[in-house]
């Protein structure tokens, strides 16, 4: 015998209803695709009816999204689909505390918060440890969140300097063969870091801090021989470091400093036969005190839905190749 249930979701006003139901009820349609229940929206009320096993999780998602919206968060298709994935995966209890407090408000007034369980774990790990590795596919927010936390630490005077670096070996190119002076040669490799900083700080503040030397963006080779004290240091695209480069970088850590290392083992551009410093470091340092390794997954991708599916498809393909 079926256990029939009905849930009524009441919205504060028309604006809240639109934010939670989506343009032309697009979020409701996604719920309908995932739950075998009847959804009827009338003005500022959403009625969900049907078998309780379908109605209750759908209503829980809507109420959690409502809570999120009332905390000042914008609701997008990501929040809807991610919430559905958590509830279906038996992790619905994590929804209420998932998104957490604002890490930083950008120059444009946007509140930056973790958007997935993986991101939440990653942010907490960075706050807790001297060195944190963020490992996972593109689109999981590894670099952006690290830069946000670094800017917050700088703003709160927890550090005196922000240093961002990347190995300039992508796509097999060598700096010596590229046109222009040194700055022009390395800029293309460092552009994603410039973009993230400008988005967070605003163009004027970013330029001012760069001019004063408070923010430094440089290729990895420039780290050799330095001791980085009272600094927030981010190594991006670390999958393209060699084992020696990674060891050199990690041993630059000085007093009052924090390091974040980000990378995607699925996008290694090193010559064949050269071991990735990121892969080796995550094996060697797994249980070292003060160091934490956070591994993100396709579910943590904050991009178009298709991107997550692309990542998952490639993961399956690579796994099948390894088995063969």
Instruction: Let me know whether 124 and 61 are in one domain.
Output: no
Model confidence at 303, in pLDDT bands (50, 70, 90)? low
For residue 226, pLDDT beyond 80: yes
Instruction: Let me know whether 149 and 243 are in one domain.
Output: yes
Instruction: Let me know whether 275 and 150 are in one domain.
Output: yes
Q: Which tokens go with 283?
A: 């094996």
Which burial class, exposed, middle or buried, applies to 60 when counting CB atoms under 10 A from its CB (0-12, 13-18, 19+)? middle
Total structural domains in the chain?
2
Instruction: Let me know whether 164 and 44 are in one domain.
Output: no
Q: What is the pLDDT of residue 199?
A: 87
Instruction: Let me know whether 39 and 180 are in one domain.
Output: no
Specify the DSSP class assigned to residue 75.
P
Instruction: Let me know whether 170 and 89 are in one domain.
Output: no
- Beta strands, E only, the chain: 4-10, 37-42, 45-51, 104-105, 111-112, 131-135, 161-166, 215-219, 231-235, 258-263, 291-295
The span from the CA of 185 to the CA of 10, in Å, is 57
Instruction: Let me know whether 38 and 154 are in one domain.
Output: no
> What residues make up the domain containing 17?
4-98
Residue 40's CATH number: 3.30.1370.10
Note the pLDDT tens digit of each residue in 68-123: 888 777 888 888 988 898 888 887 777 777 666 788 888 888 878 888 889 999 99
Instruction: Let me know whether 187 and 306 are in one domain.
Output: yes
Place of tokens 């550090």: 159
| Residue that terminates a domain, selected from 98, 116, 139 | 98
Q: What is the pLDDT of residue 264?
A: 94
246 or 297, higher pLDDT: 246
Instruction: Let me know whether 149 and 272 are in one domain.
Output: yes
Instruction: Let me know whether 93 and 117 are in one domain.
Output: no
Instruction: Let me know whether 77 and 110 are in one domain.
Output: no
Q: What value does the mean pLDDT take over residues 294-314? A: 78
| Residue that terminates a domain, selected from 35, 68, 98 | 98
Helix 52-70, helix 14-21: angle, nearest 10: 120
The span from the CA of 320 to the CA of 158, in Å, is 46
| Residue that terminates a domain, selected from 55, 77, 98 | 98
Q: What is the pLDDT of residue 195?
A: 85
Look at 24-28, 108-112, 154-158 and tell me which has the smallest mean pLDDT. Answer: 108-112
Residue 279's CATH number: 3.40.50.300
Instruction: Let me know whether 201 and 309 are in one domain.
Output: yes
Average pLDDT, the chain: 86
Q: Is 227 helix (H, G, I), strand (E, B) or coil?
A: coil
């Amino acid at each position: 015998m079926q256990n029939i249930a009905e849930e009524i979701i009441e919205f504060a006003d028309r604006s809240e209803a639109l934010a939670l139901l989506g343009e032309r009820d697009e979020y409701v349609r996604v719920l309908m695709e995932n739950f075998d229940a009847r959804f009827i929206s009338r003005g500022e009320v959403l009625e969900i009816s049907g078998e309780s096993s379908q109605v209750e999780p759908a209503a829980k998602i809507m109420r959690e999204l409502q809570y999120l919206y009332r905390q000042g968060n914008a609701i997008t298709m990501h929040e809807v689909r991610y919430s559905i994935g958590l509830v279906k995966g038996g992790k619905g209890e994590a929804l209420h505390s998932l998104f957490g407090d604002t890490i930083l408000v950008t120059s444009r007034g946007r509140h930056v918060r973790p958007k997935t369980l993986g991101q939440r774990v990653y942010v907490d790990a960075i706050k807790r440890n001297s060195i944190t590795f963020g490992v996972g596919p593109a689109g999981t927010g590894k670099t952006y969140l690290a830069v946000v936390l670094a800017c917050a630490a700088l703003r709160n005077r927890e550090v005196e300097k922000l240093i961002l670096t990347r190995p300039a070996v992508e796509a097999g190119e060598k700096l010596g063969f590229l046109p222009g002076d040194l700055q022009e040669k390395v800029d293309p490799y460092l552009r994603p870091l410039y973009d993230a900083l400008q988005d967070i700080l605003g163009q004027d503040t970013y330029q001012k801090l760069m001019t004063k030397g408070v923010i430094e963006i440089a290729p990895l080779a420039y780290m050799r021989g330095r001791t980085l004290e009272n600094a927030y240091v981010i190594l991006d695209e670390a999958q393209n470091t060699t084992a020696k480069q990674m060891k050199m970088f990690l041993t630059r850590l000085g007093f009052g400093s924090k390091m974040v290392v980000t990378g995607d083992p699925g996008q290694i551009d090193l010559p064949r036969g050269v071991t990735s410093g990121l892969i080796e470091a995550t094996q060697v340092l797994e249980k070292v005190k003060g160091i934490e390794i956070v591994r993100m997954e396709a579910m943590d991708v904050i991009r178009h839905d298709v991107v997550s599916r692309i990542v998952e498809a490639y993961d399956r393909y690579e796994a099948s190749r390894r088995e063969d």
